[in-house]
Amino acid sequence: MSPALALVGVSRRYGPLAGLRQVTLSAPDKGVLAVLGASGSGKSTLLRVIAGLEPVDEGQIQLSGRVVSRRGFTEPPEARRVGLVFQDYALFPHMTAVQNVRFGLSRDPPQKRAAIANEWLDAVGLAAKANAYPHELSGGEQQRIALARALAPKPSALLLDEPFSGLDPVLRSELRDLTRRIAKETAGAFVFVTHDAEEALFMADHLAVMAHGRLVQADEPRSLYERPATLAAAAALGPVNQFEGVVREGRLATPFLDFPAPSLTDGTRATAVVRVEALAATPGQRFLVAERRPQGARDLVMVRCEKSGVLWRALIPAASPAMARCEVSAPPSSRLVFPTPDSQS
């Protein structure tokens, strides 16, 4: 069965600059493909070529097995039936909520358009606000209307460009839940773009990490979090502690812990990585607790090795006892080592 959306070797250039570099990626029918990356990673360019707003310079894009973009050919956005939801809602201010939702249904008879619009307003919990104008709605309500408007025409793909980043945490959580529920119940690809690792992990059925226009890694979110293939993929999914050194006798020694590196030959320069939440700090004498800051249910502890001056971070339960000095530990499975490209010592 063909994926709902497939990109095969897609590149997009802007003169000498590359917006996308040989990206191969697919999204299933139903469920969410989350694309995670920092500003400039190529996320927005990816959405624009999928939507048909920009051409591709290499490769091709398929929707439900149909080629909609290749070099020299770009099917227009209105023909490929792709819905878009942005951070700024983009509602028509002179239209009511129901009129906004009906806007994309111009090919249907008026009675059917009204019925479909009302169904989607009900689906997003805003049937009672059908006749309200955007300025009479909260930010969360406006984004629900934008979501309903994008979904009403039954698009082959729905593209969401950081749609919740302007909302407060409670509204953001509610809309994440709503979007995931709709994605499970609605045919078509859902592509959710974000720079927030926590949001990407929550939303994704399949997760892709991008950097500098390249696809760094794509996998199920849990697998990608626990088994990143590169340092860039590991760092994209949350804060990490790092230490660069040289592999000796199958391990990389850091000021805090030794990291097994059985697949690397002696003399290889490499970087040891452990996630902040995987590093435990307990009362002891080896290391200095330089600072401790509350982070809700957990505290962030800054741990310093006085001999080297290296500072690492650990997350510990807020109820942990006060300590001026500590020991550190981390499960072996959380100790990652990545070779430094083209570097030997």
66 secondary structure, DSSP code? E
User: Residue 130 has what pLDDT?
Assistant: 95
pLDDT more than 70, % of the chain: 99
Average pLDDT value for residue range 190-194: 96
| Same domain, yes or no: 244 and 257 | yes
**Helix and strand tally (H, E) in the chain?**
9, 20
Which amino acid, 72?
A: G
Taking alpha carbons only, the member of 216, 224, 201, 188 closest to residue 34 is: 201
| Same domain, yes or no: 106 and 138 | yes
pLDDT in tens, 222-239: 999 999 999 999 999 999
Bridge partner residues of 159 (DSSP): 84, 191
Q: What is the mean pLDDT of the chain?
A: 93
Q: How far is CA 172 from CA 56, 97, 290, 310, in A?
A: 33, 20, 34, 37
**Structure-model confidence comparison of residues 341 and 164, the more confident one:** 164
| Same domain, yes or no: 181 and 255 | no
User: Residue 107 has what pLDDT?
Assistant: 76
Q: Which domain holds residue 56?
A: 5-236
pLDDT in tens, 311-320: 999 999 999 9
pLDDT band at 344 (very low <50, low <70, confident <90, very high): very low
CB 193 within 8 Å of CB 44: yes
Positive/negative CA dihedral, 199, 201, 207, 210: positive
Give the pair of three-digit tokens for residue 199. Answer: 């949001």
| Same domain, yes or no: 219 and 245 | no
Strands 17-27 and 189-194: unpaired
Q: Is the pLDDT of residue 202 over 90?
A: yes
203 secondary structure, DSSP code? H
Query: 291-309 burial string, b = 16+ CB within 10 Å, else e?
Result: ebeeeeebbbbebbbeeee
| Same domain, yes or no: 127 and 228 | yes
Average pLDDT value for residue range 65-72: 95
pLDDT band at 88 (very low <50, low <70, confident <90, very high): confident
| Same domain, yes or no: 306 and 253 | yes
Average pLDDT value for residue range 21-50: 94
| Same domain, yes or no: 201 and 250 | no
Last residue of a domain, one of 177, 210, 236: 236
277 secondary structure, DSSP code? G
The number of distinct structural domains making up the chain is 2
pLDDT band at 345 (very low <50, low <70, confident <90, very high): very low
Q: Is the pLDDT of residue 52 over 90?
A: yes
